[in-house]
Amino acid sequence: MDTSVGKPLGRVDGRLKVTGGAKYSAEMPEEGVVHAVIVGSTIATGSIVSVDVKAAKAQPGVLAVLTPDDAPKLAADPVKKQSPTDMVVHALQSRKVQYQNQPVALVVADTLERATYAAALVKVKYRAGKPKVDVKAEQPRAYKPKQINGKPADMDQGKASTDKAAATVDATYVTPYEHHNPMEPHATLALWEGETLTVYDTTQGVFGTRARLAALFGIPPESVRVVCKFVGGGFGSKGSPWSHVVLAALAAKAVKKPVKLVLRREQMFSQVGFRPETQQRLQLQAREDGKLLLVKHDTVSCTSEFDEFVEPSGKSTRMLYASDRITTSHRLVRLSVGTPTFMRAPGEASGTFALESALDELAVKLKMDPVALRLKNHADKDPETGHPWSSKSLKECYRVAGDRFGWAKRDPTPGSMKDGRTLLGWGMATATYPTLRSKASAKATLLPDGTARVLAGSHDLGTGTYTVMTQVAADALGLVPAKVKFDLGDTRMPETPVSGGSQTAASVGSAVKKASLALRDKAIALAVADPGAPLHGVPAAQVTVENGVLVSGGKREDFAALLKRKGLASLDAEASAEAGPEKDQYAMHAFGTHFVEVRVDPDLGEVRVSRCVGAFGVGTVLNAKTARSQLLGGIVMGIGMALMEETYLDPRSARFMTQDLADYHVPVNPDVPDIDIIFVPESDPHVNELGAKGIGEIGITGVTAAIANAIHHATGRRIRSLPLTLDKVLATS
């Protein structure tokens, strides 16, 4: 029988999505839904003196106006530390204001229009303080965070070399505030039945949301159900429950009706996290032959006044290249802004801009080819832990992507390659992302008609989880994908981790495979056990399952017949999967490379990316089509991060001035060239049951530097701050 894993199976939920049949969280059909609208603060720091709700309350249809004075009190929040969101600040629990557009009141009405209008009538008096807005100005007060992703904030590996440095780089790279901007806005629909809370929430983590709500409302987790069938993009901003989730549940309790709360686009620029600005100083020293003697990466980013989030930009620097000495540090400054959060390869995307740009600068100084410089410093084992790699195909990635791109024809002299008056630039960079997994569970059930139903309480952020899990289960059960129905997105299903850190396929897929294999074994055991049954007495190991039929030699019985003969309405198995001892024996990362061509208008400074070739070693490719789409999406986001994305923070008010997609530019089709994705065959027996590495985030890593390096090649201009806009291309200083 043909297996399904690896095939470019179209999305099993594709038809539902294109016909509008897919129900997103805000569309769940609950009876009698009313609408909540958040009133946001108009100061960044200070306190609320009074909230005048009279006019709002007098409006027709208004059911409640909650303020810090009368909002129901939340329980102490024991999980606060695990999440970048302090609900005392965010959810009407205090009169303190700590960022612009912080929720200061919540209006609930029978229609969205009435709630929106009444919200405009709420009058808040403030005592305003002076906001802190500038990462650079606050730098003298920077402090060392306790940890970054569970690791020390600072690291110093290896020994200072006594060799003489032939070339050095010492430069500061800057990445701006960026906002995730998924197409689907954050949305929560909350309802109480007695002491039981149900929330339909667009989230990357139904179980995390459940834990948080249970703690905040002082009820057991079993009394909270979180449902999320489809997510219209998350990119990290839906990785933890923000204020609106808690406010919707508070409001539903107050008005005793189902409450829907959907954020407006402008609120998504202030209430649900962002990538913080980073200032990254990168120092490199190398011998004449290119060998790195020192890599020093010191990064400063911002957090809020009340929570701690670190953009861990030095993370990949610790493991990407071999060097006599590698030293990295992370510092934080507190600003009067909301709390930053995970965004599209947090740390790796911002950090590789600095590291991969600096390596290009070093290559120029050494008059060395950028690929040769990277090969010279290839890390044969993990510089951070000293462990061997579970697998690594980076050299092969450079080779195949370089060949496909035609890199050998590159004239390294800046400005030397032209097409008419257009300057051509060719640049490259390395991509990397850790291979993560967390404990996950799944349940597989055979039904009387011979089909299977497989459940795991996970999420599909548009990544293809529904499809890939269907394939994994189908192969393990010996069924065609059409006979498997995989479902997700409900805390009543087996528990799975947050869909972040590119870990869903590896974590949930391993559990789905284990549960499906356990079910298959159970069916086989039943098939061979009974006297008189077609496969009676056949050793279990000699039975295979092909397209739903248990087969051994000429003997056969299909799943449906087996269940009927046994009088079973169903047959099921559950399993959990988690990392074994390999995680402490091997360093696990996906690697890849980007080669890009830019075309620069020498008079206008306009940059167009005209070609992209990426090669990646990511272990088993579970679905050739959705995997390619994941990498395409990552690279497109990289183009956005390189050329367009930036949120402006008003230096007087500490308000994010960029508040819609007219001002916050993301790439559209004419901005994106044909992108060539190559999967380098890679087999990894150590990472997980599937041999698959996460691919949600690696695509974006390195893209910004590859484009910046290409612009340097085209123009001779080195731009060290994102985005790489035409004013910077043309700047004369």
Chain residues that interact with ligand MOS, rule: CB under 6 A: 204, 234-236, 239, 342-344, 346, 500-501
Closer Cβ to ligand MOS, 204 or 336, answer by number: 204
Closer Cβ to ligand MOS, 82 or 585, answer by number: 82
At residue 89's C-alpha, the angle toward residues 88 and 91, to 5°, is 70
Angle between helices 703-715 and 624-643 (to 10 degrees): 50
* 697 flagged as catalytic: yes
- Could you tell me if 293 and 286 are in contact, meaning their C-beta atoms sit under 8 angstroms apart? yes
The beta strands (E) that lie in 465-570 are given as 484-487, 544-546, 549-552, 555-558
Closer Cβ to ligand MOS, 424 or 637, answer by number: 637
Residue with smallest beta-carbon separation from ligand MOS = 236
Smallest distance, ligand MOS to C-beta of residue 461, A: 8
Smallest distance, ligand MOS to C-beta of residue 224, A: 22
Which residue type is seen at 620?
T
Smallest distance, ligand MOS to C-beta of residue 310, A: 13
Name the 3-class secondary structure at 398: helix
Which residue type is seen at 58?
A
Residues whose CB is less than 8 angstroms from the CB of residue 541 and which lie 6 or more positions away in sequence, other chains included: none
- Could you tell me if 309 and 303 are in contact, meaning their C-beta atoms sit under 8 angstroms apart? yes
Q: Which residues pair with 171 in a beta bridge?
A: 282
DSSP 721: B
Exposed, middle or buried, 326 (CB in 10 Å: 0-12/13-18/19+)?
A: buried
Considering only CA atoms, which of 643, 642, 658, 651 is closest in space to residue 702?
Answer: 642
Smallest distance, ligand MOS to C-beta of residue 102, A: 23
Smallest distance, ligand MOS to C-beta of residue 404, A: 29
- Could you tell me if 475 and 544 are in contact, meaning their C-beta atoms sit under 8 angstroms apart? no
Please give the order of strands across the beta sheet that includes 123-128: 96-97, 46-52, 123-128
Cα separation, 333 vs 143, whole angstroms: 7
Is omega for the bond preceding 340 within 30 degrees of 0, making it cis? no
Count of alpha carbons within 13 Å of 523, Cβ hemisphere only? 38
Closer Cβ to ligand MOS, 238 or 594, answer by number: 238
Smallest distance, ligand MOS to C-beta of residue 242, A: 14
Closer Cβ to ligand MOS, 182 or 427, answer by number: 182
Smallest distance, ligand MOS to C-beta of residue 688, A: 17
Smallest distance, ligand MOS to C-beta of residue 248, A: 22
Smallest distance, ligand MOS to C-beta of residue 500, A: 3
Closer Cβ to ligand MOS, 269 or 433, answer by number: 433
Scored b (16 or more CB within 10 A) or e, 227-246 reads bbbbbbbbbbbbbbbbbbbb
Closer Cβ to ligand MOS, 205 or 619, answer by number: 205
Cα separation, 53 vs 529, whole angstroms: 73
- Could you tell me if 90 and 246 are in contact, meaning their C-beta atoms sit under 8 angstroms apart? yes
Please give the order of strands across the beta sheet that includes 292-303: 155-158, 325-334, 292-303, 278-286, 167-175
Residue 91 tokens, joined? 């959810």
Smallest distance, ligand MOS to C-beta of residue 462, A: 12
Smallest distance, ligand MOS to C-beta of residue 342, A: 4
What is the maximal distance between C-alpha atoms in the chain?
89
Q: What are phi and psi of 72, to 5 degrees?
A: -55, 140
Closer Cβ to ligand MOS, 460 or 557, answer by number: 460
DSSP 716: S
Cα separation, 447 vs 444, whole angstroms: 10
Name the 3-class secondary structure at 211: helix
Question: C-alpha dihedral over 722, 307, 502, 676, to 10 degrees?
Answer: -10
Identify the active-site residue in 184, 348, 689, 697.
Answer: 697
Cα separation, 355 vs 384, whole angstroms: 16
Closer Cβ to ligand MOS, 346 or 534, answer by number: 346
Closer Cβ to ligand MOS, 46 or 273, answer by number: 273
Q: What is the 3-state secondary structure (H, E, C) of 46-108?
A: EEEEEEECHHHHCCCCEEEEECCCCCCCCCCCCCHHHCCCCHHHHCCCCCEECCCCCEEEEEE
Closer Cβ to ligand MOS, 239 or 614, answer by number: 239
Q: So which residues are the catalytic ones?
A: 697
